[in-house]
Amino acid sequence: MLLVVDIGNTNVVFAVYEGEHKRGRWRVATDARRTADEYAVLLSQFLALGGLVPQQIEAAMISNVVPAVQRPMEQLCRQYLGCEPVSVEAAIAAYDFAIRIARPEQVGADRIANAVAAHRSYGGALIVVDFGTATTFDLVDPDGAYSGGIIAPGINLSIDALYSAAARLPRIALERPREVVGHDTVSAMQSGVFWGYVGLVEGLIARIKAERGEHHRVIATGGLAPLFNDTTTAIDLVDDDLTLRGLVLMHQALSARDGGVAV
């Protein structure tokens, strides 16, 4: 079985796959202070919830945008799972993945995994919108190549900015308001953040399509994607496991290249 780990700025997602069948998926808060031992305890508990044990894990694939978490996660794999983890960067060449931008090394590992899975699952010209700490808009060409993107502040960052910068504004929960016009401070803030963000998403997607002059199918993913699924026609569908499937596909390609064992 394969352990895939998606390390984001807000959450770490663990998932176990047997072939392309997902056996379990778990999410914890990202904390650079956690040690390999602490991650091992958490993972063991997650595996037990899914009826699995660490000894069943034969390989590991890691996507990471938080450098401080890389070392303890690698130690977890080596010391507790007995396998050498593979990074997205190591798997790109095996997957024959084209990155058509000026600085390919600057593309986040999660965005590459999203592009790989989106192309395999949906084909054609695609826009992948990942709602995370930042919201990213990434373009995938019909041949599967990554051809550029946009990075915008995530909606929770917008909430934090309002609370931090305005002395008399309270911290609010992220909710979809029932009305666009608020009738008190909290509902006014919620409307401005939520519907303002919907406007940002719709506007950027429209501008991408106008600039590229072709039809793009829009795939949303990330922890906050379901919140926007039924609020706009700009998003065609939500795929919660897009990043994880991309990691599985890249690991399979690397394993096939190396004769069945990815190292």
Residues involved in catalysis:
110
Residue 232 token pair: 């706009």
How many other C-beta atoms can be found within 10 angstroms of the C-beta atom of residue 174? 14
* 12 labeled part of a ligand binding site: yes
Check whether 6 is labelled as a binding-site residue: yes
Is 233 annotated to bind ligand? no
Closest CA to 232 of 209, 259, 201: 201
**Is residue 108 annotated as involved in ligand binding?**
yes
Q: Is 239 annotated as a binding residue?
A: no
For 41, phi then psi, to 5°, come to: -65, -45
66 is an annotated ligand-binding site residue: no
CA distance 239 to 135: 15
185 is in an annotated binding site: yes
Structure tokens at 20: 């392309």
Q: How far are the Cα atoms of 66, 84, 167, 211, 235 from residue 123, in angstroms, in the given order?
A: 30, 32, 48, 20, 16
Q: Which amino acid is at 33?
A: R
Does 130 carry a binding-site annotation?
yes
To the question of whether residue 136 is assigned a binding role by annotation, the answer is: no
| Paired strand residues for 151 | 136
Q: Is position 229 annotated in a ligand binding site?
A: no
Q: Is 117 exposed, middle or buried (0-12, 13-18, 19+ CB in 10 A)?
A: buried
Q: Is 11 labelled a binding residue?
A: yes
Q: Which of 134, 72, 145, 136 is closest to 104 using CA atoms?
A: 145
Annotated binding site for K(+): 130
Annotated binding site: 6-13, 108-111, 130, 133, 185
Annotated binding site for ATP: 6-13, 133
